[in-house]
Amino acid sequence: MSRPASGAAAGKIGGAGRRSRGVWLTALPLYLFTIVFVAGPLVYMLVLSFQTKAEGWGVEQVFTWNNYLRILDPVYLDTFLQSLKLAVSTTLLVVLIGYPFGYFMAKLSQAWKRRMMMLIMIPFWTSSLIRLYGWMILLQAKGAVYQTVRFLGFDIDPLKVLYTYPAVLIGMVYALLPFMMLSVYSSAEKMDWSLVEAARDLGASPMKAFLSVTLKLTMPGLLSGVILTFVPSMGLFFIADILGGNKIVLVGSLIQDQLTRGADWPFAAALAVVLMIMTTLLIFLYQKVTHSTELEGLF
């Protein structure tokens, strides 16, 4: 980190020199904390990724490219591919459900908007693990869904949904949907609906009006929802573990494997570095496309 020489550079906006030191002081805790406890660990991770795993246990301070070369092995490349595939399909489903939800929600009356907002927020105050567990109860071979169908008089075989790809997809979509709903909602809520009216008055079909006006205006929300869904879904390994029976190898679970059974921290660090570069690029792309520095909806 390049540290500024003193407050001299800081005073410009306020104009007054005596003020600059105060301004600098207010930012100081953030700078210190960020450099020590965020940048520090991340730099350490980078260093670790170039070190060698010791025989048995631990890390040797010997420089190597080997950890990165290992990622090029087809097995591990395939893991990245699988993670991407899951992340893309999750994001797609989340868009398909979350976008109309946010959109329709923005059209509700004030009272209903408030109620909806609460309904979305309440689950946040329970444990996300427990909500996953609820899905397990539902999807088990002889779980709640099976029992309900049987109770209704249909004779079906025990379900084989749990521990399959669809089960993981359900869990991922379920966990990440609220972020999309909120992002799109916040974008659609800010939107100037008279523009849509105007487009309609000028003779645009509802579809055309939606595509050329609404979609465009809600794009920041949609894109930020995509980021908020896509980035975590690259790393959310415990959903795949719990609902997928550990059969889908994601980058997150691969890292977890290296940290636990593999006891291979340098390799885990290398995987993490690659994953981080990928997500960073994505966020960078988002900022370039939307010309904004923050994500819509959450902030």
> Which residue from 229, 265, 270, 290 is in contact with another protein, where contact means CB under 8 A?
265
The least distance separating another protein from the CB of residue 216, rounded to whole angstroms, comes to 19
The least distance separating another protein from the CB of residue 238, rounded to whole angstroms, comes to 7
Structure letter (DSSP) for residue 157: P
> Which residue from 184, 213, 249, 270 is in contact with another protein, where contact means CB under 8 A?
249
Instruction: Indicate the residue among 107 and 208 with the shorter CB distance to another protein.
Output: 107
CB-CB neighbours of 94 under 10 Å: 27
Binding mask 82-111 for another protein (x = CB under 8 A): x--------------x--xx--xx-xx-x-
Show contacts with another protein in window 11-40 (CB under 8 A).
Answer: 12-14, 19, 22-31, 33-35, 37-40
Q: Could you give the CA distance from residue 282 to residue 277 in angstroms, rounded to a whole number?
A: 9
Instruction: Supply φ then ψ for residue 155, to 5 degrees.
Output: -100, 105
Q: Is 190 in the site for another protein (CB under 8 A)?
A: yes
| Alpha helices, DSSP H, located in 107-164 | 110-121, 128-139, 144-151
Q: Is 166 in the site for another protein (CB under 8 A)?
A: no
Residue count (the chain): 299
CB-CB neighbours of 13 under 10 Å: 9
Do the beta carbons of residue 10 and residue 20 sit within 8 Å?
A: yes
Q: Is 151 in the site for another protein (CB under 8 A)?
A: no
Q: Is 222 in the site for another protein (CB under 8 A)?
A: no
The least distance separating another protein from the CB of residue 59, rounded to whole angstroms, comes to 9
Show contacts with another protein in window 280-299 (CB under 8 A).
Answer: 280, 283, 293-295, 298-299
Q: Could you give the CA distance from residue 87 to residue 250 in angstroms, rounded to a whole number?
A: 10
Q: Is 231 in the site for another protein (CB under 8 A)?
A: yes
Q: Is 195 in the site for another protein (CB under 8 A)?
A: no
Q: Could you give the CA distance from residue 291 to residue 295 in angstroms, rounded to a whole number?
A: 11
Instruction: Indicate the residue among 107 and 216 with the shorter CB distance to another protein.
Output: 107
Residues in the interface with another protein (CB under 8 A) total 135
How distant, in Å, are the alpha carbons of 98, 256, 287, 289 from that of 184? 8, 33, 17, 17
Do the beta carbons of residue 229 and residue 90 sit within 8 Å?
A: yes
Q: Is 70 in the site for another protein (CB under 8 A)?
A: yes
Q: Is 223 in the site for another protein (CB under 8 A)?
A: no
Q: Is 256 in the site for another protein (CB under 8 A)?
A: yes
Q: Is 150 in the site for another protein (CB under 8 A)?
A: no
Do the beta carbons of residue 210 and residue 103 sit within 8 Å?
A: no
